């Protein structure tokens, strides 16, 4: 695998095949040992979730075999800051190691975040939401475009853009993606739903019923058809703008798709009844709607 470019002076050489090379391949990196207690965690670490079971397994492995890959560390004044390897550092401390192998690198703040992102991405250590927030931090903290972020982490620009879109999901749904209860494929489909309450309801239904991505796509398409433009004014007594307004008001009020079929007056003066349809996805959802309309249940 070719070295990634755009990581700053001497840093690209550190990210070959996910394993730090020998010293001669990176003159600005020094392999040494440091007391585990003297290493401070990286505030730009993209990972924010450490599974206790996985950490316990790594701790047991380190007790038996030690740390097989050095941590990446940079000097910050008189202290040392972790660039990449927080899970290994946590496990080493739990295993009781007083000193740990490290590779000292020269890295500015931006390069530190880039290295942490690349190392975690190569190890597939980041969940989708951690990856999305990492890209967003690179954009916010260092004013990088999606093209620049993609070049620095070795990803396609579309991959970065799609990941960042996940941050538009409601927090509840982000949690489902973070915990692996909802796939990225499902999340991308849900992003096509404009109303957050309806999006969250669909996410819960997807989990409860085990819907496939394809089944969810069909459901979202059906809901969108329910919100399409009403019939031409010549076919109804209610003005189109007013019908759209009422549909949107009820949609927001109930938090689900609503369809209004206005009553019509035929040529002979006979009235044709209208219809109001409100979608629900479970018995609990039905009771929620009944409570909204004040029906005794």
Known catalytic membership, residue 86: yes
Give yes or no: residues 97 and 60 share one domain: yes
pLDDT tens digits for 249-283?
Answer: 888 888 888 888 888 777 666 777 888 888 888 88
Q: Specify if 3 maps to a domain.
A: no
Q: For the domain that residue 147 is a member of, what is the CATH number?
A: 3.90.1530.30
Residues 179-232 have pLDDT tens digits of: 899 999 999 999 998 888 889 989 999 998 899 999 999 888 888 776 555 444
Residue 293 tokens, joined: 């309309």
Same domain? For 137 and 71 the reply is yes
Q: What is the pLDDT of residue 7?
A: 35
Residues 23, 143, single domain; the answer is: yes
**One domain for residues 158 and 173:** no
Q: Are the beta carbons of 199 and 190 closer than 8 angstroms?
A: yes
Catalytic member of 33, 53, 57, 86: 86
Backbone angles phi, psi at 254, to 5 degrees: -90, -15
Are both 128 and 211 inside the same structural domain?
A: no
Check if the beta carbon of residue 150 is closer than 8 Å to that of residue 157: yes
- pTM (predicted TM-score): 0.54
The last residue of a domain, from among 134, 163, 192:
163
How confident is the model over 132-157, as a mean pLDDT? Answer: 85
Q: Distance between CA 252 and CA 287 in Å, rounded?
A: 17
The answer on 204 and 128 residing in a single domain is: no
The region of weakest confidence among 10-19, 32-41, 43-52, 87-96 is 10-19
Reading the block at residue 198, the tokens are 């309806």
256 in the same domain as 148: no
Q: 237 and 98, same structural domain? A: no
pLDDT at 13: 35
Residue 296 in this model has a pLDDT that exceeds 50? yes
Asked which of 131, 163, 195 is the last residue of a domain, the reply is 163
Task: Answer whether residue 176 shows pLDDT above 90.
Answer: yes
Within a domain: residue 143?
yes
Residue numbers of the domain that contains 157 = 12-163
| 132 part of a folded domain | yes
Is 6 within the bounds of a domain? no
Within a domain: 176: yes
Same domain, 173 and 274: no
Residue 240 and residue 101 share a domain:
no
Residues 41 and 178 in one domain: no
Euclidean distance between CA atoms 151 and 145, whole angstroms = 10
Residue-level pLDDT at 48: 66
Residue 5 lies in a domain: no
> Position of tokens 């494929």?
185
Q: Of 201 and 49, which is predicted with more confidence?
A: 201
Structural domain total, the chain: 3
Rounded to whole angstroms, what are the CA distances from 139 to 25, 106, 147, 227, 273?
A: 30, 22, 10, 35, 55
Name residue 39's beta-bridge partners: 80
Do 136 and 273 lie in one domain? The reply is no
């Amino acid at each position: 695998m070719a070295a990634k470019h755009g990581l700053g002076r001497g840093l690209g050489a550190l990210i070959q095949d996910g394993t730090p090379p020998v010293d001669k391949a990176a003159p600005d990196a020094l392999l040494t040992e440091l007391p585990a207690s003297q290493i401070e965690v990286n505030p730009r670490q993209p990972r924010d979730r450490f599974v206790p079971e996985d950490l316990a397994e790594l701790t047991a492995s380190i007790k038996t075999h030690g740390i097989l890959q050095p941590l990446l560390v940079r000097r910050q004044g008189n202290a040392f800051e972790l660039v990449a390897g927080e899970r290994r550092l946590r496990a080493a401390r739990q295993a009781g190691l007083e000193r740990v192998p490290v590779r000292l690198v020269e890295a500015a703040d931006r390069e530190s975040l880039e290295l942490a992102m690349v190392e975690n991405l190569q190890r597939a250590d980041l969940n989708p939401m951690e990856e999305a927030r990492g890209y967003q931090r690179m954009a916010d903290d260092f004013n990088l475009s999606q093209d620049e972020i993609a070049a620095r982490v070795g990803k396609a620009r579309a991959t970065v853009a799609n990941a960042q879109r996940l941050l538009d999901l409601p927090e509840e749904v982000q949690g489902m993606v973070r915990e692996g209860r909802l796939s990225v494929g499902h999340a991308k489909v849900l992003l096509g739903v404009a109303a957050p309450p309806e999006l969250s309801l669909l996410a819960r239904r997807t989990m409860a019923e085990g819907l496939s991505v394809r089944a969810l796509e069909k459901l979202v398409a059906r809901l969108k058809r329910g919100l399409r433009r009403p019939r031409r004014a010549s076919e109804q007594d209610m003005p189109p703008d007013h019908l759209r307004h009422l549909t949107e008001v009820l949609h927001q009020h109930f938090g689900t798709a609503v369809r209004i079929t206005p009553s019509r007056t035929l040529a002979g003066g006979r009235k044709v009844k209208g219809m109001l349809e409100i979608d629900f996805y479970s018995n609990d959802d039905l009771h929620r709607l009944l409570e909204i309309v004040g029906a005794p249940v």
